[in-house]
Amino acid sequence: MTNIAVILSGCGHLDGAEIRESVLALTALDKAGAKVSIFAPDAEQHHVVNHLTGEETGESRNIIIEAARIARGKIAPLSELNVADFDALVMPGGFGAAKNFSDLAFKGGDCTINPAVKTIITGFFSAGKPIGAICIAPAIVVAALKGKATPTVTIGDDEDGLIKALGGTHQSCKTEQCVIDKEHKIVTTSAYMQDDARVYDVFLGIDRLVQAVMNLTK
Amino acid sequence: MTNIAVILSGCGHLDGAEIRESVLALTALDKAGAKVSIFAPDAEQHHVVNHLTGEETGESRNIIIEAARIARGKIAPLSELNVADFDALVMPGGFGAAKNFSDLAFKGGDCTINPAVKTIITGFFSAGKPIGAICIAPAIVVAALKGKATPTVTIGDDEDGLIKALGGTHQSCKTEQCVIDKEHKIVTTSAYMQDDARVYDVFLGIDRLVQAVMNLTK
């Protein structure tokens, strides 16, 4: 059985993991016959955003406690993720990746990646194990591998040159497709980088990403 | 185009809408070509549950603000749902249906349905428009129609006789299937009523439910 680690950055696209991408990744992984373990940092979110108004609420919420809503309680702290136990890593997107896994949302091309997240990404990469990254998560992967590799990824369109600034190569891609960098074993799909993407197209893109990740584990 | 109203009871299966069921219903509806509008009550949740520990937190959260996480902000108050604007209703499950749409979680067969939710369910039923209900939501539909109809629904297995106590007829059904009551135009699937259901089976059941609901609108 293929063991896949999924890491979540909260629960809600404006301050945590993009919920739909997370659920559709879990669905595609189950469809592909993978055994999935879910992890999240046991730490406070950067902030909490009211998803109806888009405004900060002033509350504080814990990343793993909120991500447990998506995981239905079956989730472990990121500190317990042992790369040796898994065949591949899958990272859904959402602003949580850019606010809780890094400061990308605030510093763009000059961002710093959370050390624990960076260690996990470089661990999978160095072990020759594939990484699937969705939405904005490809930018985190590129930034984490800066100086080690120049992967080719997609965040849909990259008009602002973010991926190049972070040290990668960008390839444009439609929502329902994915980009496969066989050399670096990195698979990416843009999902809700296009804010008005159709959810079934997002599923098709994630399903293709998961199939490619599974094939790269063989 | 077929217009479908989806009503959510929050964001998280222990105190709101079951997230996976909600996302997979939206995905199946998009796959089927439906135009979807999402609604939720603008009211406080019954309570907030830590989904890592299962314990109440003492916080208060608003149903529509939390449901907006699943809806990506595209959601309207339940009070704005006009039955005449839609061809069918789809209700995901989760304890939110049994705590925020009713007091079913506390009173079982003697439960009372939230008046606004009851008006919507009876409105679709009386107009001859189909209703798709997932997980525990079928129990809410049966309770809302008590005295008007005796629909046949599934909540998977009903060992405790809840559906009979509420005034309906229960039919056992596997997660990946759905039960179609053509006479009453009510379609149901058990989803996470089986706590350890596989998420892809949940999707298959919801996808079949959505196809049946779409067919019943014709």
The residue of chain B with its CA nearest to that of A40 is: B52
Q: To the nearest whole percent, how much of chain B has pLDDT over 90?
A: 100
SS3 at position B169: strand
Contacts of range A149-154, beta carbons closer than 8 Å, 24 or more positions apart: A149/A125, A149/A184, A151/A181, A151/A184, A151/A186, A152/A179, A152/A181, A152/A184, A152/A186, A153/A179, A153/A181, A153/A186, A153/A188, A154/A178, A154/A179, A154/A188, A154/A189, A154/A190
B135 classed as catalytic: yes
CA distance B174 to B21: 15
Which tokens is B14 given?
């222990």
**How much is the mean pLDDT over chain B?**
98
How does pLDDT run across A4-13, given as a tens digit for each residue? 999 999 999 9
Do the Cβ atoms of B24 and A20 come within 8 Å?
Answer: no
* Residue pair B2/B35 in contact by the 8 Å Cβ criterion: yes
The CATH number given to whatever domain includes residue B51 is 3.40.50.880
Residue with tokens 């997980």: B135
Which residue from B5, B63, B65 is spatially nearest to A57, judged by alpha carbons? B65
C-alpha distance from A112 to closest chain B C-alpha (Å): 27
- B64 vs A: CB within 8 A: yes
Residue B12 pLDDT: 98
Buried b (16+ CB within 10 A) or exposed e, A36-74: bbbbbbbeebbbbbbbbeeeeeeeebbbbbbbbbbbbee
Residue A108 pLDDT: 95
State how far the alpha carbon of B120 is from the alpha carbons of A114, B30, B90, B114, B165, in Å. Answer: 47, 22, 11, 10, 22
Which residue from A18, A190, A20 is spatially nearest to A100, judged by alpha carbons? A18
Which residue from B123, B45, B29 is spatially nearest to B82, judged by alpha carbons? B123
How does pLDDT run across B29-63, given as a tens digit for each residue? 999 999 999 999 999 999 999 999 999 999 999 99
How does pLDDT run across A134-188, given as a tens digit for each residue? 999 999 999 999 999 999 999 999 999 999 999 999 999 999 999 999 999 999 9
Residue A132 pLDDT: 99
CA A49 centroid distance within chain: 20
- Domain extent for B46: 3-216
CA distance A211 to B24: 19
* Residue pair A98/A139 in contact by the 8 Å Cβ criterion: yes
State how far the alpha carbon of A97 is from the alpha carbons of A102, A154, B37, in Å. Answer: 6, 16, 28
- A35 vs B: CB within 8 A: no
Do the Cβ atoms of B200 and A65 come within 8 Å?
Answer: no
Mean pLDDT on A48-66: 98
A17: phi then psi, degrees, rounded to nearest 5: -70, 140
A32 class by beta-carbon count within 10 Å (0-12 exposed, 13-18 middle, 19+ buried)? middle
The type of residue at B74 is K
CA distance B7 to A58: 27
Number of CB pairs, chain A paired with chain B, less than 8 A apart: 87
CA distance A204 to A28: 9
Residue B10 pLDDT: 98
- Which segments of chain A are extended strands (E)? 3-7, 35-40, 76-77, 88-91, 131-134, 152-153, 169-170, 179-181, 186-189
C-alpha distance from B199 to closest chain A C-alpha (Å): 6
The residue of chain B with its CA nearest to that of A21 is: B23
Residue B72 pLDDT: 98
SS3 at position A167: coil
- B44 vs A: CB within 8 A: no
How does pLDDT run across B79-104, given as a tens digit for each residue? 999 999 999 999 999 999 999 999 99
Number of domains in chain B: 1
Q: Is the ipTM of this complex over 0.95?
A: yes
How does pLDDT run across B109-148, given as a tens digit for each residue? 999 999 999 999 999 999 999 999 999 999 999 999 999 9
How does pLDDT run across A81-121, given as a tens digit for each residue? 999 999 999 999 999 999 999 999 999 999 999 999 999 99
How does pLDDT run across B185-201, given as a tens digit for each residue? 999 999 999 999 999 99
CA distance A27 to A70: 12
Do the Cβ atoms of B72 and A24 come within 8 Å?
Answer: no
- A30 interaction partners in chain B (CB closer than 8 Å): 198-200
Residue B114 pLDDT: 97
